[in-house]
Amino acid sequence: MLIICILSGLTVLAQTPIKDQPGQTYFDMLEKVLIEKTIPEKDLLALKPSPIPENFMDTLKKYDWVYAGGYTYIEKYYTDYKKFYKEYKIMRFDDNGGKLEFSINGYQNYVINHFNQKNPPHSKWSIVKANSNSFILNETSSEKESQKILSYNNGIFIYLITKSGKTTDNAVAFREYYVAISKGFTWSYNE
Residue 41: domain span = 2-115+122-181
Please tell me the number of Cα atoms within 13 Å of 64 on its side-chain side. 23
Please work out, in degrees rounded to the nearest 5, the angle formed at the alpha carbon of residue 90 by the alpha carbons of 153 and 68. 50
pLDDT at 174: 97
Residue 1 predicted with pLDDT over 60? no
Provide the CATH number for the domain around residue 99: 2.40.128
Inside any domain, residue 187: no
Residue 97 lies in a domain: yes
Residue 11 lies in a domain: yes
Question: How many independent structural domains does the chain possess?
Answer: 1
Average pLDDT over residues 68-95: 95
Q: Considering the domain boundaries, does residue 186 fall inside one?
A: no
Per residue in 18-72, pLDDT (tens digit) is 999 999 999 999 999 999 999 999 999 999 999 999 999 999 999 999 999 999 9
- Could you tell me if residue 188 is inside a domain? no
Average pLDDT over residues 124-138: 93
In a domain, 191, yes or no: no
Q: Is 89 contained in some domain?
A: yes
Mean pLDDT of 98-114: 93
Is 58 domain-assigned? yes
What is the per-residue pLDDT for 189? 78
Is the confidence at residue 13, as pLDDT, over 50?
yes
**101, 91 contact by CB (below 8 A):** yes
